[in-house]
Every structure is written in structure tokens, then in C-alpha cells.
Amino acid sequence: MAKGVKPRVKVPKKAAAGDTITIKTLISHKMESGQRKDDDGNAIPRSIINRFTCDFNGENVIDVTLEPAISTNPYLEFEALVPEAGEFKFTWYDDDGSIYEESKKIAIG
Amino acid sequence: MKKFMSAVLVSTLSTTMVMADPVDDTLILNEEITLVTRTAAPAHMADAVDEIMSGWLFRGTETRAMQMDDFDNPGMIFVEKGEDLWNTAEGSEGKSCASCHNDSDSMAGVRPVYPKYNEAAGEVRTLEMQVNDCRENRMGAEPWKYTGGDMTNMTALLASVSRGLPVNVAIDGPAQSTWEAGKELYYTRTGQLELACASCHEDNYGNMIRADHLSQGQINGFPTYRLKNTKLNSVHARFKGCVRDTRAETFKPGSDEFIALELYVASRGNGLSVEGPSVRN
């Protein structure tokens, strides 16, 4: 598992039914591209977050493929329609097989 | 036709000059606290500058927006790391910062008054020196490297809990001689380019230096998250970078010269809000 990885998300605590809300996500990750070399000239192996998904009550909201050119600490911001109260689930997939998860509840009101 | 041409030329020129000027904007943090980014200069600067301005006003719209929300501010990642360090027991005494100081929030008001004269030690101390003094003498731990990652994460945490409070370093009494040494350095030209701090940050703020805007060089926003190197940058590392850019041999981070310079430069920002960790280019 890559070091110092920590997912963060920002979701409003409540919204009106049918509202579109803005979700912000950030994961601290070095996103090593695989293109760089160390001091001895050996390639530093690629180690990135390669996929990010967000689901709401089991339904997929967004599914993103991340590529090596994406900078360190990838930040993703997107909008989602909230038809009912429920829970957003966020999942980040690491090259090394690690999966980082976070979830946030949202109420209607 | 000729008249029309010169009118166009004049307007193009004036647009270029306006671009480097500080913007008229208000820094509201997390839609809660309004920070002071522009205020009357402290009395000791009466001959030099009327108004002091945070570097935030000299940056672009997107960069300014990043600093307005803690979630968008990449510097806050390092503040979280600082918080982890705050609660980590280290050294022969088995103590963490929290063992004596409780929550990091209790340190609100500390950042704005540093560098500060320490009676017992008989010297002006920066926040970094005080942190290392705690580590060595209270915790029995190894001191951190002056501009290292752990140290900068810790100073970012200490700055973040003081955001919104006005910088207020003492320049009289026992700190005066250090302050004067710092002032001397600020106005001394160095390097092959023969530039003093004042050449850029007092005489030319609001102008362009090649592709970048010159600010007043205020340090109320340090440590600073720079988009160019995606990490926090400490005050002394920035001083070193500036002196190097004048093509001079630089002083070392943590040296007497940079401590004096930090006190003097901090005093030029007396009245501006603490902003650290700020976001800059």
C-alpha cells in the first residue's frame, strides 16, 4: 500500500429532493507516473490511483479512469442529482490493489 | 487614422500595466471569517509604503479561490499531517505536543507574535526554533530539520489555528537590535544582480518581473502551498530562493541573518491577518 494515502470528501449534509449538489473529493496520493528515473537511472515504478467511482444508494453516479499524467493528490469535483435521502459511497482503486473507501450520508430537508 | 492608432496603442499599454496590479477582492475563509488582506502600513514604514497588502491580492482568480475553502486548499493536507505529529509521542520523555498544550486550537494567537524575544534564552526566536526547543528539552526528541517536511507541517498547523488574527510582532525593547539587523539586510543589495529585497518588494510591487507579478513580499501567508512545487514552502526556504535569484551566496535557513530578516519582514505585515497555509503560484 502506498504511503500517506488518505481520502477526503465534501458532501452537503442535506438537500431538497431533486436538487443537484456539488461533491468534492480529494485523495492524498503521490501518483508516481512510471516515467521518472531515480538518482541511479532506474525507472521508478508506476503507482497511481487508476479508477474512482461514486455510487448513491447502489446506483452508479460517476466512474472515472485516471491516467499517469494526473498530478499528485488528485482532486475531482462533480455534480449529482439527489432524488431521496441516502448514502454516497466513494471508492478509489490503487495500482497496488489497495482500495480506499469513504461514505457520506445525505438527508432530505 | 493616426489618432485612432495611437489611442489603441495607449489602451493596450494601460491594460498591460493594470494586469500586474493587486486586485480588489475580499478573502472570506470557508464563508465564515473575513481576513484582512489590505490595511494601513505600520508606523515604522511611514517613509516607504502607505498601504500593506497580502500576496493573495496579487494572484489569479483561480488561485485566490483555492485558498477560500479549506477543502480546496491543498495546504490543508499538510495541516492534517501536522495534526498527526501534534498527537504523536516521541523522545525519551514519551510526550507529544498535546501532552502539554492540549488541543492544537489552544495555540491560536502564537503564530502572529513570532519571531519573538525569548527572555530565558536571551535571543529572538522563530516558531521553528521554539518547536525544536520543545522537542529537545521537553520531549527529549531529535530536533527537526529547519525547513524539513515535519517542521513545515507543524508550522502550517500552528498558522492554521491563528488564521484571521492580525500579525503583531514586537519590534521594540530587547527585539529592537535584531529588528534593525533585519532592516539592514532588507535594504542591502546582494548578488551579481545587485538586488535588495526592497528593489522588488518595495519599489516595484504591482509590476511584472518577467512573467510573474511582484507582491510586497509579505509573509503573513506562510507556510505557503506553491502550485509550482506542490508542497508547503517555509519562510526561510523562500528567503533562500529570493537571495539565490539575485545570484548571491545565500544565508542558511535558521541562520542569525534570516531570523533577523524574518522579524523585520514580519513587522512589515503587522496588521494583516495570518493566512497560512496560503496558496500561491
| A to B CB pairs, distance under 8 Å | 17
Residue of A16, A14, A11, A4 whose CA lies nearest to A90: A11
**Nearest-neighbour CA in chain B from A97: distance (Å):** 24
Residue A1 confidence class, pLDDT cut points 50, 70, 90: low
Instruction: For chain B, give the percent of residues with pLDDT over 70.
Output: 93
Q: Is the pLDDT of residue B9 over 70?
A: no
Report the side by side order of strands in the sheet with B224-226: B231-233, B224-226, B278-280
Q: Where are the alpha helices (DSSP H) in chain B?
A: 2-19, 61-68, 75-86, 97-101, 127-133, 149-160, 176-186, 197-201, 235-245, 256-267
For residue A24, the cross-strand partners are A10, A77
What is the grid cell recorded at A41? Answer: 537511472
Q: B242 catalytic, yes or no?
A: yes
Average pLDDT over residues B29-33: 90
Q: How many contiguous H segments (helices) and E segments (strands) does chain B have?
A: 10, 11
Q: Chain A 40-99, CB below 8 Å of chain B: which residues?
A: 71-73, 75
pLDDT score, position A6: 87
Judge whether B228 is closer than 8 Å to chain A, CB to CB.
no
Mean pLDDT taken over chain B: 92
Average pLDDT over residues B195-217: 93
pLDDT score, position B58: 94
CA–CA distance, B245 with B239 (Å, rounded to integer): 10
What is the grid cell recorded at B79? Answer: 495541516
CA–CA distance, B264 with B170 (Å, rounded to integer): 10
Instruction: For chain A, give the percent of residues with pLDDT over 70.
Output: 98
Q: Please, which residues have CB within 8 angstroms of residue B189's CB and are 6 or more apart in sequence?
A: B195, B196, B199, B246
pLDDT score, position A4: 78
pLDDT score, position B19: 55
Q: Is B206 exposed, middle or buried (0-12, 13-18, 19+ CB in 10 A)?
A: middle
Residue among A24, A26, A71 minimizing CB distance to B230: A71
Q: Is the pLDDT of residue B275 over 70?
A: yes
CA–CA distance, B158 with B79 (Å, rounded to integer): 8
**Nearest-neighbour CA in chain A from B79: distance (Å):** 13
Mean pLDDT taken over chain A: 93
Q: Chain B 195-214, CB below 8 Å of chain A: which residues?
A: none
Q: B276 vs B14, which has greater pLDDT? A: B276
- Strands (DSSP E) contained in chain A are 6-10, 14-15, 19-28, 49-56, 59-65, 75-82, 86-94, 99-108
Residue B1 confidence class, pLDDT cut points 50, 70, 90: very low
- What is the tens place of the pLDDT at every residue in A10-45? 999 999 999 999 999 999 899 999 999 999 999 999
Average pLDDT over residues B72-77: 92
Average pLDDT over residues A49-59: 96
Q: Where are the alpha helices (DSSP H) in B111-267?
A: 127-133, 149-160, 176-186, 197-201, 235-245, 256-267
- What is the tens place of the pLDDT at every residue in B103-137? 999 999 999 999 999 999 999 999 999 999 999 99
Give B72's contacts in chain A (Cβ within 8 Å): 24, 75
Average pLDDT over residues B69-84: 93
Instruction: Provide the pairing of β-strand A59-65 with A75-82.
Output: unpaired
pLDDT score, position A2: 64
User: Which pTM does this prediction carry?
Assistant: 0.85
| Burial A28-48, CB ≥16 within 10 A → b, else e | bbbbbbeeeeeeeeeeeeebb
- What is the tens place of the pLDDT at every residue in B146-198? 999 999 999 999 999 999 999 999 999 999 999 999 999 999 999 999 999 99
pLDDT score, position B13: 45
pLDDT score, position B8: 46
| 8 Å CB contact of B71 and A24 | yes
Q: Is the pLDDT of residue B92 over 60?
A: yes
Judge whether B81 is closer than 8 Å to chain A, CB to CB.
yes
Q: Mean pLDDT check: name the lowest of A91-105, B16-30, B78-92, B241-255.
A: B16-30
CB B97 within 8 A of CB B106: no
CB A53 within 8 A of CB A63: yes
ipTM: 0.73
CA–CA distance, B81 with B98 (Å, rounded to integer): 14
